[in-house]
Structure 1
Amino acid sequence: MALVPTASQTVGPYLHLGLTAITRDDIAKDASRGEKIVISGQVLDGEGKPIPDALLEFWQANADGKYAHPDDMQDKPLDGAFIGFGRMPTDKDGRYSFTTIKPGAVPGPGNSLQAPHIVVCIFMRGMLRHLYTRIYFSDEAANADDPVLSLIEDVARRPTLVAQRQQGKAEYHWDIHMQGFGETVFFDC
């Protein structure tokens, strides 16, 4: 039996009622290998105002660069305590925060390696299609050679995908700008 995706729908104004039980803001859990980090920020509209009812989903590889998914056939170890998936709504100020581990590099097109990154899917009221983007890390030298980042022709827009490490902490800050000045780069998937 093949599984098929359900139709895309907008997130209604009641997402906090129906999705609280499936919110997961600690992707790493205590037993996971790798550097434990916190990523936080805000989701902002075109005028820079917070969006209080967005829903963010995060997918990522483990510290060794392997996804906890049966389609990942790499000969790399799985981490049984690592989930690799999280989902959370923004709060009344459009803020989000989640704990994870810094992912390892994963294979990319043409036998290249992709820089460590996290895939993000954004749902929100009024949006008929969800949007996909990525979080890269400001302290990763591999960003310079990442095949996906290099697809972004406007070099000035690449930083919209890079979370900034907070000095002396295992914390990163990354805001999502839905449109307007500093609009985050979104991908057609």
Structure 2
Amino acid sequence: MPQALPYLRETPSQTAGPYVHIGLAPGAAGFDIYREQLGRRIIAPDTPGERIRIEGCVFDGTGAPVRDVLIELWQADGEGIHPHPEDLRHADCAPGFRGWARIVPDFDTGLFVIDTIRPGSVPGPNGRPQAPHLSLWLVARGINTGLQTRMYFDDQDNAADPLLALIEQPHRCDTLIARREGAIYRFDIHLQGDRETVFIDV
């Protein structure tokens, strides 16, 4: 009954359990229980676009790698099109491109690997173009609410990106920039500490 709502007690908050990564990405933990693992493939072999590899770790406040984190990724294709009906151009999205994935790091080293294509620029608020980026969401034990962040590229022009322009301490923009190291991009995420990654309140 609506009049009873003020008397309902608040549900206590809980962090994600220690096995959340296994529940959401069981194949990465060695459990072959699904015909197709959800979120394992971002692109198909024939998807057009520049292939890129991203490697990194998620670190806790002590600098130790978080090995049981789950990362969800969203991105546009090489032309800046999302494969989602809210993108008016979604019918023109690259073939075989999903634009979404679940990534689990190596349980021994904490290193995560993302094999995808370089995203294109997408429209932002008021039609302003956003610099090419990946949107990332993290969940792990000890995190009450999933953490949202972005990853940009150091070899792209990020100067006019509207989200980066909102960061009050410009030097912290560096925590969102992946660095090209030979054939890969390196992107580490720091949950706390002096190098804490900028997280987005969405």
TM-score (norm 2): 0.83
- 1:41: Cα distance to partner? 0.2
Distance 2:38 2:21 in 1: 10
CA deviation string 1:48-103 (max 9, x = no partner): 11111110000000001010001111387211211100102222332210100000
Aligned residues: 179
Q: CA deviation at 1:26?
A: 4.0
- Measure, in 2, the Cα distance between the counterparts of 1:9 and 1:73: 38
In the alignment, does 2:69 pair up with 1:54? yes
Q: 1:89 to 1:75 in 2, by over 3 A?
A: closer
Structure 2 counterpart of 1:115: 131
Cα 1:10/1:80, change in 2 over 3 Å = farther
CA shift, 1:23, in A, is 5.7
Aligned residues with identical type, % of pairs: 44
Query: What is residue 88 of structure 1 aligned with on the other side?
Result: 103
Using the TM superposition, give the Cα deviation of residue 16 of structure 1 relative to its aligned residue in structure 2, in angstroms: 4.7
- Matching residue of 1:124: 140
CA distance, structure 2, for counterparts of residue 105 and residue 76 of structure 1:
17
Q: Distance in 2 between matches of 1:75 and 1:165?
A: 30
Listed as ranges, the matches of 1:5-84 within 5 Å are 10-18=15-23, 19-21=25-27, 22=37, 24-74=39-89, 77-84=92-99
Task: Kindly provide the amino acid, as one letter, of the partner of residue 195 in structure 2.
Answer: G
**CA distance in 1 between partners of 2:91 and 2:151 (Å):** 22
> Residue in 2 aligned with 1:188?
201
Runs of 4+ in 1 over 3 A off after TM superposition: 8-11, 21-26
TM-score (norm 1): 0.88
User: Which has the larger Rg?
Assistant: 2
Shift of 1:27: 1.4
Contact 1:11 1:54 in 2 (8 A): no
Distance 2:196 2:93 in 1: 35
CA distance in 1, matches of 2:38, 2:17: 16
Structure 2's unaligned 5+ residue stretches are: 1-12, 28-36
Q: How many Å separate the matches in 2 of 1:9 and 1:138?
A: 37
Q: Residue 136 in 1 paired to residue 141 in 2?
A: no
The aligned amino acid for 2:94 is D
Q: Give the Cα separation in 1 of the matches to 2:155 and 2:14.
A: 36
Do structure 1's residue 178 and structure 2's residue 191 form an aligned pair?
A: yes
Q: RMSD across aligned C-alpha pairs, in angstroms? A: 1.8
